[in-house]
Amino acid sequence: MTYPSHPPTHNFPSHLQPLCQAATHLRRPVTSLLRKISPTTHRLIIIHDSLMSSVVQDFVSLPNAESYTFHSVSAFSIALYTSEIIGQQIRKLVERTYSVMKDDELSFEGCFTSEFKKFIVTQHEYAKLSSGRIYNTCRVIEQPILELLEAEARNGGKLVWALGPFNPVNIQSVSKFSRKDSGPVNRCLEWLDKQASNSVILVSFGTTTSFTEEQIIEIAIELEKSDQKFVWVVREADRGDIVNDDIVHADLPEGMSMGVPIAAWPMHYDQPNNAVLVTKILKVGILVKDWCPGRHVVAAAAVETSVRRLMGSKEGEEIRKRAAEMGRRIRKSVEDGGVTQMELESFIAHARR
């Protein structure tokens, strides 16, 4: 099923709000399913997205059911949003260990609409019914933050696991991609095969960020002027007249686990705080544009400068080295005996107890 793309009116994808609200009506069929499954098993484990907590709330009526909330965003962002006390601890940790923060640098002001904020608050209230939290991160990336979250969770009698990343991290070959036709994905892969290692920039703002034609033109001009090879993944609604069929639409693994640096351009939701995590704490990326609520066109020169910093400077070289090392450690964490693999085994053992 596809939904029409809406024109860009705000950084936050507010047109998705009805979809979130509609999903809450799944409560009845999900409850029916849980009641059907419950008598067939010793323990019924329910893992649900943090924004679907209200849907599974009736699990409390089942004597053998437990729920665990899955957070798809960074532990850093979740910690800042859900706990003022942890937020203060994080600020002290960052300023003591990494760098000084601006007063509003770890704020959620303007990150989402008031309607979506109300929706989040409601879902997080129902999430308090769960027995623990699962984060899409690993201790290689966010160990200090996870330790703060664990301490708070223990006070509430809950448990925490970091089982990410959930994207593929050991891709040995692109042979699994279909090359039966001469479509844009195949042409892109063939072109990438001919490029030197670590020489191509992937430009992608995800499926929930939209741009005006003016902003797209600014980005396109300076990507071209940067003299760097790039692949730009563009939403259908943003293609306009300046993007031709050579721009591919493809799902690629997340950059951090692949060991590549990140040029962060925060738009909404958890992205502003993630930009702080990437650029000031982990130091595996640079900031293209400071976070600013509302829609503002970023000058072309800012894009070119950021690309050149990342790909053609001493600073960029150091960032790329740190990113490569982090990627190596993340990939190692999911191997047998790795910290993430051991944590997954710990969760499974807990569920089977």
CATH hierarchy code of domain 18-167+334-352:
3.40.50.2000
pLDDT for the residue 204: 67
- Token match 């030197």: residue? 196
Q: Is the pLDDT of residue 59 over 90?
A: yes
Of the ranges 73-82, 231-240, 344-353, which one carries the lowest mean pLDDT score? 231-240
Tabulate helix, strand, coil % of the chain (nearest 5).
50, 10, 40
Query: Residue 347 — very low, low, confident or very high, per pLDDT cuts 50/70/90?
Result: very high
Residue 126: CB atoms within 10 A of its CB come to: 18
- Token match 């034609």: residue? 213
> Average per-residue pLDDT in the chain?
78
Q: How far apart are CA 312 and CA 273, in angstroms?
A: 26
pLDDT for the residue 60: 97
User: pTM value?
Assistant: 0.79
Asked whether 352 and 44 are in contact (CB, 8 A), the reply is no
In the chain, list all ranges with CATH 3.40.50.2000. 18-167+334-352, 184-333
Q: How far apart are CA 78 and CA 145, in angstroms?
A: 10
Residue 103 backbone zone (phi > 0: left; psi -120 to 50: alpha; other: beta): alpha
Task: Please state which of the four CATH numbers 3.10.450.40, 3.40.50.2000, 3.20.20.70, 3.20.20.120 is assigned to the domain occupying 184-333.
Answer: 3.40.50.2000
Of 345, 333, 337, the closest CA to residue 137 belongs to 333
Of the ranges 61-75, 117-131, 196-210, 324-338, which one carries the lowest mean pLDDT score? 196-210
In this structure, are strands 132-135 and 44-49 parallel, antiparallel, or unpaired? unpaired
H/E segment holding residue 318: helix 314-333
On the CB side of 21, how many CA atoms lie within 13 Å of its CA?
9
Q: How far apart are CA 167 and CA 191, in angstroms?
A: 24
Would you state the structure tokens that stand for residue 223, as one six-digit string?
């990507």
233-286 pLDDT, tens digit per residue, is 666 655 544 333 333 333 333 667 777 788 877 777 777 788 888 888 888 888
Q: Is the pLDDT of residue 82 over 60?
A: yes
DSSP secondary structure code for residue 238 in this structure: G
